[in-house]
Amino acid sequence: MRRLFWAAAACAGGVVLSSCGNPDAGTEPLGDEIAEVEDTGLTVVASIDVYTDLVTGIAGDTVEVQPLVDSTAIDPHSYEATPQDRLTVENADIIIANGGGYDSFITLLASAADKDDDVYQLIEGENWHSHESEGSWENEHIWYDLERMSEFVLDFAEHLGEIAPENSDYYAENASAMAAEIEALAERNTALDAEGHSYFATEAVSGSLLDDAGLQNLTPLEFLNAVEHGDDVSPRLYAQALDLAEEIDLLSYNPQTETQQSARIRDAAADAGAVVVEFTETIPDEADGYLDWMEANIDIIESALQEIP
């Protein structure tokens, strides 16, 4: 099984264009400026649209891409695969899984189709949540970690180039340009310098972006664990969350995983004067691909910081 190991990677400058978020568009590659490219006939299937959009930016029309989840109306954590999904995975040449327990539905489909060797999994293992004994949290929503997505596009371009060597230079050039764009977004986010401000998250999706901007995460690890595992938040944790909602500067809210409890926490935070901001699991319809989406998320954080007293 292909795994992605996080190592330092250099990237060259360049420009990546974006177009409307629909099945025929998204993050676009550089084009045919650097090499003659061939249609490989390969099909790449991913659990969520984030990865297929990035692959389109690397490979352009040389591969066919298809996500299993591409709607903000669907919660990938609780997604149940359909018979059509099973057929899609069976016909795939490359299967991209986030891993860490986030999208087990696609790795299970791959195993059922005897296609484990075709899986490119970003996170090793199936259980990547908090380690309370160590007082740490490892966030499975790694597409909100811009440094890791920069590394992903470079690594996946190399992987794809090994499968389709006739296009390897094209993939490498596109990936370098896209990695540079992602690095630029990461630098802008870090420069927001939100140190001294705190946040609470009803779900961990945006954690990496907010942490890198300098905000202090006051969300209890037990609370995040319960939400990520799909468990009910205990009355004790729920009461603690309502208390914290009155102390924080910013509430990070994921509408895709909304519950009655999370909605009440949102209302309590708003009533207490906290700035409430929404972050989704998958690319929203109004975004022109991953890069545009992440830029918009940074805009949201920047605007929120200006509203904090």
Buried b (16+ CB within 10 A) or exposed e, 69-102: bbbbeebbbebebeeebeebbeebbbbbbbbbbb
Mean pLDDT for 107-136 is 75
Whole-model pTM: value is 0.85
- Residues 200 and 263 both lie in one domain: yes
How far is the C-alpha of 234 from the C-alpha of 183, rounded, in Å? Answer: 39
Cβ atoms 199, 300 nearer than 8 A: no
Residue 137 has pLDDT above 60, yes or no: no
How far is the C-alpha of 128 from the C-alpha of 164, rounded, in Å? Answer: 32
Cβ atoms 255, 278 nearer than 8 A: yes
Q: Could you say which DSSP state residue 158 is in? A: H
- Residues 173 and 203 both lie in one domain: no
Among candidates 38, 94, 40, which has minimal Cα distance to 66?
A: 94
Edge-to-edge strands of the sheet including 63-69? 2-3, 119-123, 94-99, 42-48, 63-69
How far is the C-alpha of 275 from the C-alpha of 215, rounded, in Å? Answer: 13
1 in a structural domain? no
Confidence of residue 242 (pLDDT cuts 50, 70, 90): very high
Phi, psi torsion values for 115, nearest 5 degrees: -125, 30
How far is the C-alpha of 221 from the C-alpha of 77, rounded, in Å? Answer: 18
- Residues 210 and 174 both lie in one domain: no
Give the range among 4-8, 41-45, 137-141 with minimum mean pLDDT.
4-8
- Residues 200 and 271 both lie in one domain: yes
- Residues 159 and 263 both lie in one domain: no
Cβ atoms 114, 137 nearer than 8 A: no
pLDDT, tens digit (0-9, with 9 covering 90-100), for 62-106: 999 999 999 998 988 889 999 999 999 999 999 999 998 889 999
Residue 16 has pLDDT above 70, yes or no: no
pLDDT of amino acid 110: 97
Confidence of residue 162 (pLDDT cuts 50, 70, 90): very high
The CATH number that applies at residue 269 is: 3.40.50.1980
- Look over the chain and give the mean of its residue pLDDT values, rounded to a whole number: 86
Mean pLDDT for 121-143 is 65
Burial of 139: CB neighbours in 10 Å, binned 0-12, 13-18, 19+: buried
Sign of the CA dihedral running 257, 259, 261, 264: positive
Residue 300 has pLDDT above 50, yes or no: yes
- Residues 276 and 217 both lie in one domain: yes
135 in a structural domain? yes
For residue 307, give both structure tokens: 């509203």
pLDDT of amino acid 32: 47
Mean pLDDT for 243-270 is 95
pLDDT, tens digit (0-9, with 9 covering 90-100), for 25-66: 466 675 445 557 899 999 999 999 999 999 999 999 999 999
Q: By residue range, what is the domain housing residue 31?
A: 12-188
- Residues 205 and 181 both lie in one domain: no
pLDDT of amino acid 33: 54
If one compares 128 and 256, the residue with the highest pLDDT of the two is 256
pLDDT of amino acid 305: 97
pLDDT of amino acid 133: 39
How far is the C-alpha of 85 from the C-alpha of 81, rounded, in Å? Answer: 6
Give the range among 20-24, 79-83, 85-89, 250-254 with minimum mean pLDDT.
20-24
Number of domains in the chain: 2
